Structure 1
């Protein structure tokens, strides 16, 4: 097991039986967490959790326990259904395996190590630095269109979504002209209100779309991530077409959906009272801090990460059996007052904001974190310079949100400005 200097010593196992609770999901406001997490962190940090299907599991809410759990090899990422702690499994284990084999999100070493090694080179700091001029050009193009377009404007549909979508499309090798298709499929795959037939259709359509791109790369090589994976396959690397498609799906969805939502939430946090937008414009050196603080304060993976215990273990004194499902709740951990002072306050000056767990920790730390940070930095820095009087054109407490999606964010963000 990986050793961590800040991992607390083990405590005696707690075998007290408590009634499982349902996962808290009701937010008082768009930027608030369910109030139940404050009590859980203090009174029941590893709480029995009722699942929509199957036996109950555990909900882990404290920072130190979530961080340790993310790096603990006894907690497996392999699981029958991605969203089983928030939605009953609509697809069988066999159907899931046929439609999407293990990827970076749902595999353990050594399989995870093999897959991660194949895509690592695309997300190094050096490779991301080379992308900066292209990212800046994409941002400038979309901000030009925003400035010339009608007002008020929806910042989500005009900037926050298309910019990271175009960046990841070019890096991965997915035609940006197909964006409406993969936008729709992404919505279906991440939404919790789709029927079984809708979910099966979305999974099958996404897989067929990406497999077609893989076959095209085999006859027409390209200098992109998909092309590189096909080339590695042809060079003798153990890699199936299904695995390439699964890796591409994860990178495509994570590469545009999460960054878009983080950016929208960052702008909202800066524009709502007390309007920190002006302070950041005067002190652009705070941009990175504002981004890290948004990642902490408004964690977009809103329901946490699901793990399955490989063997018996103890988490914060709670006895967990082999086979138990464990939810590591990132948003609750990122608001833990034992780790972050006054955690419910958004503070771009916060010195330790980057200690958040929004990109994970351990072997599954997000491979695209540097790309996301670079896109967010360029987007925010450029917007601050070009739109100094940017302002909200709607009540911040009434904005529509993605409450019923795996990735949280704003569905719309109406803004106005002086051209």
Structure 2
């Protein structure tokens, strides 16, 4: 049940070379030099230490990892009380209770897409017919975006996430289109509110607790943060199982172990191998080095999740007893991913339904059944063709 380090990083490949040091100085694709933290414990320290600032990383003179950074007024780019205030406004949407109520809905949408897969027959692409449309439909439903508008969002969001595949001019044009659409949608919801997250946030705005710009940016942040990452994680989790037939067959025989298997799949092959950059606001001792004020730090979540000092047999899956130590894929501390419960829910339901409906699922016998998506700051597949 050993899971290999799936070696596909695209533009991030130069950053992800394994090494013996827990922290090392590396050069980024932008020409900046930053500290790369590979160890689990040091990584948690970075993610919880307020001296490592997300807001400082957006300053013009700060080192840069790539150009796929959130906006300065995004919740992901804030520190302290500003971040806490916005996070508090939306945290209820991802509560355990809300996720439990969404379970049946996600299951229904998953089965609808799997019906399409079954109708299309062997050779079908699971990314295009399941992993990509499912998270977008779920997010749009949560936010209150009309179903007929979801194809527009797919084009907008994918261009904004890529690193190499589109020009700055194209990114700017798509960003403006998306902002114009969201502004119009919020105006419509103000006149006719629904039972959705955007309507709730508009009500908060109208009480004076949220500025117009914060309202718009928060809606875009929730959409963009939850779409491509969940699509990628569904694809990577499925690919991991299909490259180890013994694991897939064991889960078919023991579906009660899928929950623990999801955590191991997310730990071993995270869609986000690196955190966003943080910048030290003062000298901070970190392992055997001192990070000086103004220097950047990124945490290699992939390597932290496979730290042999923390995880016994770190390259193997343990979905029988499970791990006592939480992985870092969703981050740690105040910036821990708000949407983690929703991502877990979707990955778990997809795998449960795949295992039940397609117990003999395997990679299709075609020339190139697996194609990696290029140009993204996160890992993912553009094609995963399967047979059964």
Following TM superposition, by how much is the alpha carbon of 1:191 offset from its aligned partner in structure 2, in angstroms?
1.0
TM (norm. structure 2) is: 0.90
Q: What secondary structure sits across from 1:105 in the alignment?
A: helix
8 Å contact kept, 1:334–1:356: yes
Following TM superposition, by how much is the alpha carbon of 1:116 offset from its aligned partner in structure 2, in angstroms?
0.5
Following TM superposition, by how much is the alpha carbon of 1:202 offset from its aligned partner in structure 2, in angstroms?
2.5
8 Å contact kept, 2:34–2:296: yes
2:204 is aligned to 232
Q: Given the alignment, which residue of 352, 355, 372 partners 1:401? A: 372
Q: What secondary structure sits across from 1:302 in the alignment?
A: coil
TM (norm. structure 1) is: 0.83
1:171 is aligned to 142
CA 286–84 in structure 1, closer or farther in 2 if over 3 Å, else same: farther
Q: What secondary structure sits across from 2:298 in the alignment?
A: strand
2:98 is aligned to 127
Q: Given the alignment, which residue of 53, 58, 63 partners 1:80? A: 58
8 Å contact kept, 1:63–1:336: yes
2:169 is aligned to 197
Following TM superposition, by how much is the alpha carbon of 1:39 offset from its aligned partner in structure 2, in angstroms?
4.8
Q: Given the alignment, which residue of 189, 205, 222 partners 1:217? A: 189
Moved more, 342-351 or 250-259: 342-351
8 Å contact kept, 2:122–2:364: no
2:45 is aligned to 68
2:212 is aligned to 241
Q: Given the alignment, which residue of 326, 329, 340 partners 2:297? A: 326
1:298 is aligned to 269
Q: Deviations over 1:117-176 (max 9, x none)?
A: 110111111111111121121112111222122431001111111112111111011223
Q: Given the alignment, which residue of 59, 72, 90 partners 2:36? A: 59
Task: Give the Cα separation in 2 of the matches to 1:156 and 1:84.
Answer: 34
Task: Give the Cα separation in 2 of the matches to 1:161 and 1:367.
Answer: 20
1:384 is aligned to 355
- Listed as ranges, the matches of 1:5-404 within 5 Å are 29-30=7-8, 39-40=18-19, 42=20, 44-53=21-30, 55-78=32-55, 79-80=57-58, 85-87=64-66, 89=67, 100-193=71-164, 194-237=166-209, 239-349=210-320, 351-352=322-323, 355-394=326-365, 399-404=370-375
Aligned length: 380
Task: Give the Cα separation in 1 of the matches to 2:43 and 2:157.
Answer: 27
Following TM superposition, by how much is the alpha carbon of 1:85 offset from its aligned partner in structure 2, in angstroms?
4.2
Q: What secondary structure sits across from 1:374 in the alignment?
A: helix
1:20 is aligned to none
8 Å contact kept, 2:30–2:65: no
Aligned CA RMSD, in angstroms, stands at 2.8
Moved more, 48-57 or 321-330: 48-57
- Structure 1: gaps spanning 5 or more residues: 1-26
Following TM superposition, by how much is the alpha carbon of 1:107 offset from its aligned partner in structure 2, in angstroms?
0.7
Task: Give the Cα separation in 2 of the matches to 1:217 and 1:354.
Answer: 43
- Structure 2: gaps spanning 5 or more residues: none
